[in-house]
A and B are shown apart, each in its own frame.
Chain A
Amino acid sequence: MVTVHVTPNLRRHVSVESASVGGGTVAEVLQNYFQRFPILRGYVLEDSGVLRKHMTVFIDGLTIQDRKNLSDPVPSNGEVFIMQTLSGG
């Protein structure tokens, strides 16, 4: 199972918490996490499903490469961290 964490900056807007979900890619992990916290989807992804331009996702400390299709593989016991980038202010 993959553990998903969300930046405190997001948690001040939406009520979410760290959780363990299944999934082998970033897209799958996020989809499963959003099933538990549906309101978060619009905070992380644009309407088209790509990662918002001032958001990033880390997998075990490394930023993902595929921001459009979210196809980066996630290890089965990996840690995913969702956070904002400073480029957004």
Chain B
Amino acid sequence: MSSQFIAGTRKGLFLYEHREGKWAVAQTAFLGAQVPMVLHDSRDQSYYAALHHGHFGSKLHRSTDGAQTWTEITAPAFPPKPEDEREVKCPMRGIPIPWNVELVWALEAGGADQPGTLWCGTIPGALFRSQDHGQSWELVRSLWDRPERAKWFGGGYDYPGIHSICVDPRDSRRIAVGVSCGGVWASDDNGANWRNCAQGMRAAYLPPDQGGDPDIQDPHRMVQCPGAPDHFWVQHHNGIFKSTDNLGHWEEVERVAPSGFGFAVAVHPRDPATAWFVPAVKDEVRIPVDGRLVVNRTRDGGRSFTACGCGLPQEDAYDLIYRHALAVSPDGNQLVFGSTTGSLWCSADQGDSWQQVTSHLPPVYCVRWI
């Protein structure tokens, strides 16, 4: 059983421990600061926390003593802008995409055979790689320079962003990233070359003749099953999609009740047919359907869902769960999710029942099991 998880929130980082039968805060850090992303690197037990200062920009901190103390390290940043840099504008609004890290939106460790390698996804859609535990970062130009990036645009943010990074456990050179709004992109050679892998997704927010364009899709969050890495799940702006052929194509999961809309998704570490989502009323509203907060679980690859609400508020609930705020433990039995109301819930039985951990945190941006 996992006995710790970490939450990044609107006003700080909170490490929770399970002791004497309940969850309690064991460590706090960066109180008052936005913590949009955290990472626990199981290869060396280090922790990373991205901070987003409204005035001072994105920063990165690392802890090597179990989140007791933190040291600021180099944050991913664009290099000096070349004179001949191609200017890309948002195709919807005609404004230039900034040469600046606006937000750290994804942090993942490289493979076990790549100690020190970290991947970082950002708004405005840049991917960075470190090979020295975050002491230095390089812009992955091979993706940044893709001509299709001129079609990307922001989904809920001013600019497009990379929110999901999946490193294939079979081969660490194979990486897939999810972009809102820019589809899914994969590399087989450690980021040297990229191809779009969003075929089959559907964008209802564009004119019908453009809805199938893979370059403008809005996957909200993408996860890969570690035990069956050919299998991916996406919570998309228009519903749920799955791929069972290593991103060859995506199949829409239809007739999802109470709603196919949401932001977060988690997949069982070994069983690719089991996944969890937190549904909300579709895109204009984004609140729990009928005021009932549920976690939607499928155990048959999306053919059916169970709306698990035991222990969750079933009336007058207005929690929204952001894309990084749902996580499943390494053993596949525990889940944790946090919401915009600052509430956290845990389950020890794959979502059959839930226990509220707190309702007094700042809005929760991300959660990770340790």
Contact = CB atoms under 8 A, between A and B. Distances in A.
B55 A42 contact: no
B38 to A, nearest CB: 18
Interface string B142-160: 0000000000000000000
A42 B56 CA distance: 7
Count chain A CB atoms within 10 A of each CB in B54, B78, B80, B81 and give the residue with the most.
Answer: B54
Given A42-B77, A47-B77, A88 B54 contact: yes
Contacts of B81: 47-49
Could you say which interface size class chain A belongs to? 10 to 19
A37 interface: no
Interface stretch (B96-104, B186-194, B224-232, B311-319): B96-104
Contacts of B80: 49
B59 interface: yes
B362 to A, nearest CB: 13
Interface in A15-68: 39, 42-44, 46-49, 52, 54-55
A67 to B, nearest CB: 13
A47 B78 contact: yes
A42 B78 contact: no
B57 A48 contact: no
A39 B77 contact: no
Given A46-B100, A47-B101, A84 B56 contact: yes
Contact of A89 (B54, B79, B98, B100): B54
B55 A84 contact: yes
Contacts of B53: 13, 43
A55 B99 contact: no
Interface string B76-106: 0111110000000000000000111100000
A55 B53 CA distance: 11
B72 interface: yes
B175 interface: no
19 contacts: A9-B55, A10-B56, A42-B57, A42-B59, A42-B77, A43-B53, A46-B98, A46-B100, A47-B77, A48-B78, A48-B81, A48-B100, A49-B80, A52-B56, A54-B54, A55-B56, A84-B55, A84-B56, A85-B55
